[in-house]
Amino acid sequence: MTETTQLFLGLMGVLVTASVVAGILSFRSEKPLSSTLVNLNARIKAWWIMVAAMCVAFLFGKAGIIVLFALISFAALREYVTLTHTRRSDHWILLGMFAIIIPVQYYLIWIDWYGLYSIFIPVYCFLAMPALTALSGDTSRFLERISEQQWGIMLSVYCISHVPALITLEIPGYEGKKLLLIAFLIATVQGSDVLQYIFGKLFGKHRISPSVSPSKTWEGLIGGIVSASLLGAGLSWLTPFPPLQAGILAALACIMGFFGGLVASAIKRDRGVKDWGQMIEGHGGMLDRADSLVFAAPVFFHIVRYTWT
């Protein structure tokens, strides 16, 4: 049995178990269901759809993954820009972010031009955007407008694009299996999110930063990271790494993921919204689901690149 088949069967096992457990809980609890349970059911249902989307993308290989993550970037950037302050004179810049920057960044990953895709946004876009904004002649809240959009591109496009960029890494002895490295990253980071949620709901008492996010607790964080590291070590057969190193990489990705979630919460708190959007039933918007991946992906990418290639 190939690794891909094992991974697929494993995922189905997890989803079926989650659906059965949630079904039993819903059946046995009092009606009407508590909001936690309603939300849990919605989340599990959305997980089925997200896993299905990932599976379809994996079937199409490199092209499928790149298109999927370009669409994720599109959805994430749209949610982000909606919450920023924009003016009528920013119209062309905003249009360029969606219609030029996203396709170019993912095209550079497609053609495997590391030297350019790693600096295209932080150097060239970051210089071009303020220049074009200045040319438009509207200086009102200039610095705020520029930096908000630049950071949006950084989070939603640059960072997320490092997930499909894993395909471009040449790891000796790991040829032809690079999609599995992506599966490993997503499984550990998203797994850590779920595990932090579960540990937080079961044992959460001490809040880490009550003014930013009331749902993040030390118990949830530690339980989530420890268990996700074990998950990472257990999934080392997907990767070119031995179990210990896979566990350490997973732990790092999960810690970064935690910071991603924390930063996303701070932005939402500042803007007075609960979720980034309503795209994914039970979860909120695309960025609510992808915030941890945003922070984890570039760090994971660079550690793997410098250590194993």
Partner 1 sequence: MAAIDYRRYLQSFSGSVLAILARAITGVRPIWSGSSPSYRQRIYFANHTSHGDFILLSSCLSQEARAHTCAVAGADYWRSNRIRKFMAEVLLRTVLVERNWVERSQDPMVVMLDAMSKGQSLIIFPEGTRNMTDEPLLRFRSGLYNLAIARPDVELIPCWIENMSRVLPKGAVLPVPLLCRVIFGAPVAVKEGEAHKDFLHRAREALLNMNPDAKGERP
- Give me the residues that bind partner 1 (CB under 8 A), please: 74-75, 78-79, 81-83, 85-86, 88, 91, 94-95, 98-99, 271-273, 277-279
CB 298 to partner 1: min, Å? 24
Residue among 112 and 281 whose Cβ is closer to partner 1: 281
Cα–Cα distance for residue pair 213/208, rounded to 1 Å: 8
Residue among 85 and 206 whose Cβ is closer to partner 1: 85
CB 277 to partner 1: min, Å? 6
What is the SS3 assignment for 64-86?
A: HHHHHHHHHHHHHHHHHHHCCCC
CB 110 to partner 1: min, Å? 22
CB 217 to partner 1: min, Å? 27
CB 38 to partner 1: min, Å? 19
Residue among 176 and 272 whose Cβ is closer to partner 1: 272
Contacts 24+ apart (CB under 8 A), 51-56: 51/11, 51/15, 54/186, 55/8
Residue 154 DSSP code: I
CB 43 to partner 1: min, Å? 19
Residue among 112 and 270 whose Cβ is closer to partner 1: 270
Cα–Cα distance for residue pair 141/144, rounded to 1 Å: 5
Residue 197: which H helix or E strand, with range? helix 178-203
Residue among 98 and 151 whose Cβ is closer to partner 1: 98
Residue 291's CB is within 10 A of a number of other CB atoms, namely: 27
Residue 84 DSSP code: S
Cα–Cα distance for residue pair 77/128, rounded to 1 Å: 18
CB 84 to partner 1: min, Å? 8
Residue among 206 and 269 whose Cβ is closer to partner 1: 269
CB of 73 closer than 8 Å to CB of 287: no
CB of 133 closer than 8 Å to CB of 93: yes
CB 276 to partner 1: min, Å? 9
CA distances from 263 to 27, 267, 283 (A): 37, 6, 17
End-to-end CA distance of the chain: give it in Å, rounded: 27
Residue 175, φ and ψ in degrees, nearest 5: -65, 140
Residue among 73 and 236 whose Cβ is closer to partner 1: 73
Residue among 86 and 245 whose Cβ is closer to partner 1: 86
Q: Please report where in the chains the tokens 């599966």 appear, as a residue.
A: 183
CA distances from 297 to 11, 156, 184, 211, 247 (A): 21, 12, 11, 27, 16
